[in-house]
A and B are shown apart, each in its own frame.
Chain A
């Protein structure tokens, strides 16, 4: 009894999961929470939600910060229930594929001969056996011309085309599954690291932003930033920024890699290095051709323009302001009254009130994102399959029956989409048939 109940429950579940209405409902739920996630700002501080969604005791149905935090609406896309909905969708896709789509495909490949319909005889085309043979040959020729696979049994003929259109929904489902599997592999086995490294420095992968529980971060791998530079447009806006990296092995051997920039990452032993950011840190100044000092630069934004400023003490209560607008370009030197004294370049000697100095280096850092994504291949495979199958799914699966009954010919047709085109095709077939028959 218990066994049959279990069997019934399993059968009911299978029936529910393979139901099209159920799949539509799941898609609507995902759609709703995706909308909600774009309305409620994600990953903000508790204070942010408390300020924006305060508790108003007067309203019973009040949408407040406590509700957001308790339901995990501050991180919808990572919440257990959202992932659970995606798992349900995956199950629905798998069950639908095996219980509906594959049997439907098997059924579509079968020969289906049907009997003629009881239709009143009028102006019969065929009257004897000789013409019947000719009819069968003619209709086969007409259907073959339109790309139909034909099967003949006695005075009945069956043809179909566009079977690939029936395979497409299965591939769509598989591709979505492959994407979800790839994303899961990435989530469990991948990691993302962000590093800001000064030029010339050696670094290890350590500043982990996000990682799966089964990842293997290569913490002992050593890399070096050899160079960082920026290309500018005519209007002084940034055109592109570049980093030159090298890998340093245990023996100190350096292996230099191609320059990376935004949209052109570096792939190394399954690790990908992305150029994401940059910053100017400090100035290295040589005073009186002897000691070298380092001054921190402060970033200042005026309108759309960005400057880096530092002040250099020259005498008591007297300062020089050094302003940089672009990396490795002109350096502007102002006095404490705001008057421009010099426009200098790197390594150019500057003499001010018995003091001489030269700016020998603008110290910059490159912002790198380091990523390992073992599921990427699956995701890309899923993408490719999804594109191909989405297009293939628009190929109509059409069936045609040709029956000779009571000295009449009947042409019956069925299609799963593009009915107008199919009707026109049937007219074309019948025209060809009549023309061939009368020749």
Chain B
């Protein structure tokens, strides 16, 4: 059994587990009172993440560099990032929605890596001189984790738009309301405090997730700029991938600014975040398939 087939087996197991876990998550949304489904899905997500981790570490040990040098490796890492962020968010929020909307994307990325890419694109090849740097691990891994986080945050915004379709909404959990006072009458018997409804919790969670992804994207872009300056003497060259990373950054910067504006409350920020979802995918996959620029993985279309 060669190295590649071991990796392949691990990815196939991951693919199968993601498919099963996705079904469990969706069942859990329908049958809400079964706690065992929640436990199974959580455990299964941990197993998926472990399988992907082992696959990446195995490839790292065999090839002596962090596996982020081609499209196949980056897709596997993106799937790992999606499941990892999901686990973190579920630990904090206990929400069944995150897995239900995240796993279809994870299924797509792992499926695309396993099934759509030709074998020569999956094979590890020695790094080109420009990639022989510690910045590779720093820059690309942070970018991929930021993409994972922003994808989940954007998906939550899309879900918010779907759920709020045809509804006139007034959110109290929005970040703009610096003037709203939360009143508590403190006494030994009763304490009244507000709990957010489904829409508000989706909106709030989306904001928090994008709020986590945005600084990561900032670090990713900046580390890339520093590396580019070290490698070929230009921290910004308007390369297509660089430009689209900037566009992604601008989209989410606009999103975060709209959250501060009372006039933009509700659906408008969610629309921008939904646009951000498309932009992230263009930035990550679309630009590479042009086969142009310094970041191209080569193209298959």
A residues lining the B interface (CB < 8 Å):
20-21, 23-24, 27-28, 30-31, 34-35, 37-38, 42, 77, 117, 119, 122-125, 183, 192, 233-235, 237-241, 261-265, 272, 274, 276, 369, 371, 373, 376, 379-380, 383, 386-387, 390-391, 394, 397, 401, 408-420, 422-423, 426-427, 430, 433-434, 438
Contact = CB atoms under 8 A, between A and B. Distances in A.
Contacts of B126: 233-235, 237, 239
Contacts of A414: 178-182
Given A124-B187, A430-B186, 17 more contacts: A21-B261, A38-B240, A38-B243, A123-B189, A183-B236, A237-B126, A238-B129, A239-B132, A379-B235, A390-B218, A409-B185, A413-B181, A414-B182, A416-B175, A419-B204, A423-B194, A430-B191
Given A24-B258, A239-B132, A417 B185 contact: no
Interface in B217-235: 218-219, 222, 225-227, 229-235
Contacts of B253: 27
A117 B173 contact: no
A34 B218 CA distance: 17
Contacts of A264: 230
Nearest to A20: B261
A376 B243 contact: no
Contacts of A420: 173, 196, 204
Contact of B232 (A28, A276, A401): A276
B210 to A, nearest CB: 11
Nearest to A25: B254
B233 A192 contact: yes
Contacts of B219: 387
Contact of A262 (B125, B231, B260, B263): B231
5 contacts: A31-B250, A379-B235, A412-B181, A420-B173, A433-B186
Contacts of A34: 243, 246-247, 250
B214 A390 contact: yes
A369 B228 CA distance: 13
A387 B222 contact: yes
Contacts of A272: 233
B251 interface: yes
Interface string B142-179: 00000000000000000000000000000011010111
B133 interface: yes
Contacts, number: 170
B118 interface: no
Contacts of B225: 383
A31 B184 contact: no
A174 B118 CA distance: 47
Nearest to A273: B233
Interface residues of B, number: 64
A28 to B, nearest CB: 7
B173 A125 contact: no
B215 A240 contact: no
> Which applies to chain A's interface (DSSP): helix, strand, loop or mixed?
mixed
A27 B196 CA distance: 32
Contacts of B184: 410-413, 426-427, 430
A261 B190 CA distance: 71
Given A233-B126, A394-B211, A426 B193 contact: yes
A416 B247 contact: no
Contacts of B135: 263
Contacts of B214: 390
Given A20-B260, A262-B129, A427 B247 contact: no
B77 interface: no
A192 B230 CA distance: 14
B128 A238 contact: yes
A337 to B, nearest CB: 34
B244 interface: yes
A416 B251 CA distance: 22
A123 B192 CA distance: 13
A408 B215 contact: no
A414 B179 CA distance: 7
Contacts of B119: none
Nearest to B243: A38
A27 B185 contact: no
A426 B182 CA distance: 9
Interface in B121-147: 125-126, 128-130, 132-133, 135
B196 A122 contact: no
A37 B177 CA distance: 37
A264 B135 CA distance: 12
A240 B232 contact: no
A158 to B, nearest CB: 13
Contacts of B178: 397, 414-416
Contacts of A31: 247, 250-251, 254
A411 B186 contact: yes
Interface centre among A35, A122, A263, A371 (most CB of B within 10 A): A263
B5 interface: no
Q: Which 4 interchain pairs have the tightest Cβ spacing? A: A262-B129, A233-B126, A123-B187, A263-B133
B186 A125 contact: yes
A390 B215 contact: yes
B175 A263 contact: no
Contacts of A416: 175, 178
Contacts of B181: 401, 412-414
B232 A410 contact: no
A235 B127 CA distance: 12
A416 B287 CA distance: 37
A38 B241 CA distance: 9
Contacts of B211: 394
B19 to A, nearest CB: 33
Given A28-B254, A31-B251, A262-B132, A21 B188 contact: no
Contacts of B287: 38
A272 B189 CA distance: 72
A171 to B, nearest CB: 13
A106 to B, nearest CB: 15
Nearest to A415: B178
B183 interface: yes
A225 B130 CA distance: 21
A24 B222 contact: no
A24 B232 contact: no
Contact of B125 (A28, A237, A379, A426): A237
Contacts of A123: 187-190
B250 to A, nearest CB: 5
Nearest to A413: B182
A119 B184 CA distance: 10
A391 B296 CA distance: 30
The winner among B222, B227, B251 for most chain A CB atoms within 10 A is B222
Interface in B195-219: 196, 204, 208, 211, 214-215, 218-219
